[in-house]
Structure 1
């Protein structure tokens, strides 16, 4: 461990220790042991005590979320061991991982391994659920496959979010926040009765912030010299109808609009060879990128706009009907629409190489209708809890992906990367790579998912309980793709191969450079491409739990998880042998990939210790993933492969402790996970020629899979006198080192780190007002979100000429918040 990291780690946990022991010195000893309040979760689609559920669940209350400054699922990681959430080329592309397992983002064709469910509604991609969570009652992070009960595609876990509902008493509150980077925010909420049988709740928020990155714009249409800004507002309204004691209907509508700049990357590693791609870019446009490999100077280079305009809206209705004392019916109907228009400086330099326009044409849209119906009840004098249900989801996904050449692309790529060879065969400026031309691809995907499921718990004895769940899923997808290529160079390059072979020993390399995916008009020859696939799969679980006494329950469980296959929404091509040994770069109309499966075993214990003051839960797990879906950016395109086998094994530990010091509470946990890709060869891949891009993977640890992950949150509350209250919180998250690139290139390694959030507030004892000072990333830890290949700037076999970039984590932010309750 580096000395600086050791000091940071020590300092971070010293803060937590100080919170525990420093405040203890000023607090009166409690007169009696304080018990942890019972924690109710719905991990099995019914309300149960956390200590009765044979599943690894990290439950975070709404109060702790507020204390730790958590507003979205990415910030949730500070409170959850084993959970990693990152975003990449724009804020709409968010990926959650549990125990090191998740689906790499930047490709809407791939669904998430970690499902996000908000108020019972499954969100089709993690990015669709990214935003201000507002008023939250609790969040449950369920680890391991949860495909029996939760929506679809939850092979790694579930983030189950339960927001606050309407109340029968009148409540009103507001919040104003200011901070560095020009940050400001406002939110307000009103809840209460409307009639004797109807209650309502409305929440509104607006937040804005300047960017974390300074931007060198060079010559181009970009005018803003900052990036990673925040500017959005959100509205959420609810109605609760209770026409009788046996029936309630909760209707929720929400709308969010974002208009932000995101996300520029910084140069993470720059090869220093005289002919490096970075120096070639500098020859074309001096001062276009950072040659020093110092990404945390937070200096980005971008001559094109990175606007992102996002709209997210939805409507849901949940009906709960108690048919009789032993049977209830639940129906959740939802419609959601999510669309994003994004611009991108796709070369991440101030040279004008390649870009995606910000005029609204480059866009993605999801529309989803879902219906879940559950019938549940008890039988045999309460010894049997049974549940049967059905789920249907219809998803329409429409994307238009534009990728254009800029003014400098020919001078950089044809004249320098390809050593001006294109001009020798007549491919001069104006014949290929013309500015404003490139690829324009349209995809329309329709998906339908049907599922029948059951989950039943039977008490064999008062101490021994068996839970069995089963789900049958039919997943159908159809995709229509229309490719358009302008400024292409591949046909000309292939035709010139014999002449090039007589002049150069690198003819294949030159032709390959002229036949990258976006430069190959063979895709146009495919016409409109239609693909479809259907999968019919079983998943399920079996759990055996034994309660030794009221304070100790142990269990063993097996779960079979499934995540549907699909289609890569990027161009794919194969290299065939042409006449005379010439390479034939052929457009591949089949972009499908197989479904992903996991077999998971767990052995765990849930205990209540020290007269109820400490909840301590432990579990050991072993998960085997087959046909693991991997999405990788190779510098010129996204490829999707299914790795034969990934094994994740380790231990989870969670605790909640109400200490003997009145007002002092801790919550935390540790995850140790060895998440390893099992050895494979080129012949095991969908496309064997991709092996070179993935050559570091066989036998290695998966990306974003730290061996160790630990979280610790401490909260202290005490009376100050004069009807004032002090409330403070420190939350810390430790992760050991892990690689942030799906190809595991060493330059993309994130060292071990500790992130700390801290908050201290003083307010009225009746909570009518509170003023808080806060800091997120208190010690200003520098860390990567994602490392990636510089577009058109990487030679996979020669780092000395390559450029690798990074999307950075947020720096330290500090500020103040005023809360009012009326």
Structure 2
């Protein structure tokens, strides 16, 4: 019985050629489907026709993925409307969003809003799913909260990746690729029987490519003059064991290694601090007239290295046992995974030697995960039922470090003295002024004299000045988080009549997390901050003597001290021990009703409750307190609460014109509470719970298998109105974060274009003499959207269209094929993510209006950087298959 089931599964995989929203490739080993009925999904942990599933699913076949050049989840977005995938200062910081909802940042304490599941195994962070996914059977993108069936709960969706299983039919495939940017790659696989009851499959690949950025290194010591290169290899081995007709076991082991350098960013607007960068021997892009937006450029500035090394390995064992007497199947899925990554980083994104991280392990994280899932699923004439349990234990170890360059102290002096000069032009701008502010026991008279001479102390016994910042390793923090989670779930569909079904899914999850950490300043780091804090009163008196009103003098003195007490320089973090523990239980699930009017039309309505677990912000977070209004006090807790969502959908699935046309349309309305916003405040990543985020809109999908042999079209459109609710500082866990978030209330969320549309065309035709030709085009259009979590105007990305294309010439029996391909064929220039360059200006002003702090473009001095999208790449791929 089980053997028949496995063969049935293999057959169903083989016929999913033109996936619902993809297209077939001429190099595919299988023929594409000829009707909509051939499109099969496993979105409810059982094989079903796409048109019978009351869920919004984009399903993409092996042929569709090959035709669009999809090798990782970032490539996947060109085939999926309403989905964006971006990465920032490291490829580990890869984030997927669906319907404008996702969480950005390099903080491993945040779980993913959009989950990645590979062969049934939940990958706990999006970044660990980035890389060569190998041989794929298909990918299913499930939109909306998935609170029942896919391992950990996800609040925005799931990317369900199914790899090609071992086959008892012997086969061999290989490919070789060469492209621009010096790209080359080789990959191969072999499958077949190892015995009468065991089949195996082995896949290996090696890929290299030069970087997409040209890098100006200045005085170095960085040697690489390009960035965001590619250099990795991967291997995946599988066994399919069939001990009897009722039992199947699938074992998978994989290993990947990346040794690259990534990621610099390029200036999109250079602000007035460029003068200070130049003064300390650095370079960056020359400012535009009036400090306006710069032309698009892939030239970056970095004097320090960005080496990144990543290892990803794991093992999974899935056993399926048929129980004929129950008409049921018992499934056990066990997995162990380990992922680690270390990075170097030029933190100021200039050639000035200010702040950096080295790639020797001082910055990065390791994630180890054990999971166990049990499911028992069966069916009767009226009921499809499933019950199960899921358990996981996850360990995260994170290291964070800062290194001071020789330019840090003089640059910060110039920055501080310019702020003083804005209040009193009698105070010169000087690279020596920090020594005045930090000298122990400073009086107002001494400070006034020292400031008046540009940081050169007056003569006499008071001449010595205070500490600045040294060079070298200044900070080393370590965090360790342990998560234990257990969940019990059920998902059942009751066929009330032949036309009317009701589905009920429930899941109870209990999460327990513990964080241990130590934050440590090295050497004398922190002395400058301590000296400045002790001199706030003296600075206030000196500034009043220079002509500032008392209130302005006090505010300026506090701001100057705060500039010397940034998180990496704050002695209050020195040898600070952290120990926190929290647990929380949450009920999630779904209720769906579907009615089939006839064989061609089905309507459905659904409610779903999603849940994304709480976590800890593994960073130095500081702010004001009731007893100390300066924003220099370490936060008493790094905990942020769980995120929940209530989602409603109404949909119509149509199979038309003799089963040759698919047209599905769904209205959705999602309300998120305590949305976990990870935002960069210029000095640290902070997780703030936004009280409310709503996402409302329409998903529509289309497929047409035309009467013309080998020609098909597909596409999709997503309209979303994703916006934050109105809130004030009092609604936040840390009201001091509100100034940098003051553009959010009532505004459209970042990475949430109003319209997103995909379109694809596939043509595959025999041309005689045993040959065939194929043509594939895929495109994605997005209206404008903001690429920054704080919604600053300089971070807007204009409307854009991306186009991929492939022309294939090969044999009719698929023994060989030659592909000419291009990604981003029109060389569209676009931003992935824009950021505030650290220490280089200010965007949000302190002017207070009745509605709070506001953004004034006339006062925006911020330098902005961006991580750019991939340029046009093209090449040739030769495939052979036996």
TM-score bracket relative to the smaller structure = over 0.9
Q: State the partner residue of 2:748.
A: 701
Shift of 1:341: 1.0
Which residue matches 1:813? 873
User: RMSD across aligned C-alpha pairs, in angstroms?
Assistant: 1.6
Once the 2 structures are TM-superposed, how far is the Cα of residue 797 of structure 1 from its aligned partner? Answer: 2.9
Is 2:636 aligned against 1:602? no
| Distance in 2 of aligned mates of 1:434 and 1:313 | 40
Alignment partner for residue 568 of structure 2, among 500, 518, 521?
518
Distance 2:436 2:818 in 1: 71
Is residue 115 from structure 1 mapped to residue 110 from structure 2 by the alignment? no
The match for 1:385 is: 384
Counterpart position of 1:102? 102
| Separation in 2, partners of 1:175, 1:291 | 46
Cα distance in 1 for residues equivalent to 2:106 and 2:438: 36
Matched, 1:761 2:797: no
Q: Structure 1: which 5+ residue stretches go unaligned? A: 1-19, 21-32
Shift in Å, 1:89: 0.5
1:394 corresponds in structure 2 to 393
Structure 2 distance, partners of 1:494, 1:260, is 42
Give the corresponding residue for 1:483: 519
Shift of 1:417: 3.6
- 1:434 correspondence with 2:470: yes
C-alpha distance in structure 2 between counterparts of 1:582 and 1:801, whole Å: 25
Alpha-carbon distance, 1:360 to partner: 2.4
Residues 353 and 430 (structure 1), Cα distance of their counterparts in 2 relative to 1, 3 Å cut: farther
Q: Distance in 1 between matches of 2:699 and 2:64?
A: 21
Q: Which blocks of at least 5 consecutive residues in structure 2 are unaligned? A: 1-21, 23-32, 419-431, 440-454, 456-464, 544-552, 846-858
Corresponding residue for residue 44 of structure 1 = 44
Structure 1's 110 and 375: CA in aligned 2 closer, same or farther, altered over 3 A?
same
Q: How does 1:676-755 map to 2 (within 5 A)?
A: 676-755=723-802
SS at match of 2:38: coil
Work out whether residues 622 and 631 of structure 2, in 8 Å CA contact, stay in contact via their aligned partners in 1.
no
CA drift at 1:661? 1.2
Q: Give the Å deviation of 1:107.
A: 1.1
Distance 1:582 1:99 in 2: 39
Equivalent residue number for residue 346 of structure 2: 345
Partner of 2:625: 576
How far off is 1:161 after superposition?
A: 0.3
Q: Conserved in 2, the CA contact under 8 Å of 1:494 and 1:582?
A: no
Instruction: Determine which of 525, 529, 532 is the counterpart of 1:493.
Output: 532
Matches within 5 A, 1:84-163: 84-163=84-163
Is 1:425 the counterpart of 2:437? The answer is: yes
State the secondary structure of the residue aligned to 2:597. Answer: strand
If the length of structure 1 is used for normalisation, what is the TM-score?
0.93
Corresponding residue of 1:366: 367
- Residue 34 of structure 1 deviates from its aligned partner by 5.0
Measure the CA separation in 2 of the matches of 1:438 and 1:49.
Answer: 59
1:591 aligns with 2:638: yes
Residue matched to 1:463:
499
CA distance in 2, matches of 1:564, 1:341: 25
1:660, CA displacement in angstroms?
1.6
TM-superposed deviation, 1:104: 1.2
For 2:512, what is the secondary structure of its paired residue?
A: strand
Conserved? CA contact 1:278–1:802, under 8 Å: no
Q: For the residues of structure 2 that align with 1:783 and 1:632, how far apart are their CA atoms?
A: 21
Instruction: Tell me the distance in 2 between the aligned counterparts of 1:173 and 1:770.
Output: 11
User: In structure 2, how many angstroms separate the alpha carbons of the residues matched to 1:287 and 1:384?
Assistant: 68
C-alpha contact 2:521 2:575 (8 A) present in aligned 1: no
Is the contact between residue 212 and residue 810 of structure 1 (CA under 8 Å) also seen in structure 2? Answer: yes
Change (3 A) 1:430 1:516: same
Distance 1:56 1:226 in 2: 41
- Provide closer, same or farther for how the CA distance between residues 92 and 464 of structure 1 changes in structure 2, counting only shifts above 3 A: same
Once the two structures are superposed, residues 717-751 of structure 1 have per-residue CA deviations (whole angstroms, 9 ceiling, x without a partner) of 11111111001100001111000000000000000
Q: CA deviation at 1:491?
A: 1.9
Name the CA shift for 1:801/1:584 in 2 (closer, same or farther; >3 Å).
closer
Q: CA deviation at 1:296?
A: 2.7
Q: What's the secondary structure of 2:683's corresponding residue?
A: coil
Q: Give how far 1:220 is off.
A: 2.2
Equivalent position of 1:287 in the other structure? 283
**8 Å contact kept, 2:700–2:716:** yes
Aligned residue number for residue 28 of structure 2: none
Asked whether the equivalents of residues 577 and 584 of structure 1 are also in contact (C-alpha less than 8 Å), the reply is no
2:190 partner SS: strand
**Is the 8 Å Cα contact of residues 773 and 808 (structure 2) preserved in structure 1?**
yes
Following the alignment from structure 1 to structure 2, what is the Cα–Cα distance between the partners of residues 109 and 372?
23
Query: What SS class does the counterpart of residue 491 from structure 1 fall into?
Result: helix
Q: How many residues align?
A: 782
In the TM superposition, what is the alpha-carbon distance from 1:514 to its structure 2 partner? 1.2
Preserved CA contact (<8 Å) 1:34 1:659: no
Tell me how far 1:295 sits from its aligned partner: 5.9
1:584–1:223 Cα change, 3 Å: closer
8 Å contact from structure 2 (residues 211, 228) kept in 1: yes
- 1:551-585 CA-partner distances (Å, limit 9, x unpaired): 1111000000000111101111121355xx87372
State how 1:548-559 maps to structure 2 within 5 Å. Answer: 548-559=597-608
- Match of 1:425, SS state, is helix
Q: Which moved more, 1:658-667 or 1:737-746?
A: 658-667
In structure 2, C-alpha distance between the alignment counterparts of 1:571 and 1:117, rounded to whole Å: 31
- Write the distance in 2 (CA, Å) between the matches of 1:256 and 1:701: 38
Separation in 1 of the partners of 2:474 and 2:839? 14
Shift, 1:525, TM fit = 5.4
Q: Does 1:328 align with 2:377?
A: no
Would the alpha carbon gap of residues 577 and 147 (structure 1) be closer, same or farther in structure 2, given more than 3 Å must change? closer
Once residues 249 and 347 of structure 1 are traced to their aligned partners in structure 2, the CA distance between those partners, rounded to angstroms, is 51
CA shift at 1:290, angstroms? 4.2
Which residue of the partner structure matches residue 549 of structure 2? none
CA contact (8 A) 1:322 1:328 kept: yes
Residues 286 and 126 of structure 1, relative CA distance in 2, 3 Å threshold: closer
1:564 counterpart = 2:563: no
Cα deviations across residues 377-405 of structure 1 (Å, max 9, x unaligned)?
Answer: 113xx210000000001100001101121
**Secondary structure of the residue that 1:689 maps to in structure 2?**
helix
- Partners of 2:236 and 2:44 in 1: CA distance: 27
Q: Distance in 1 between matches of 2:121 and 2:225?
A: 39
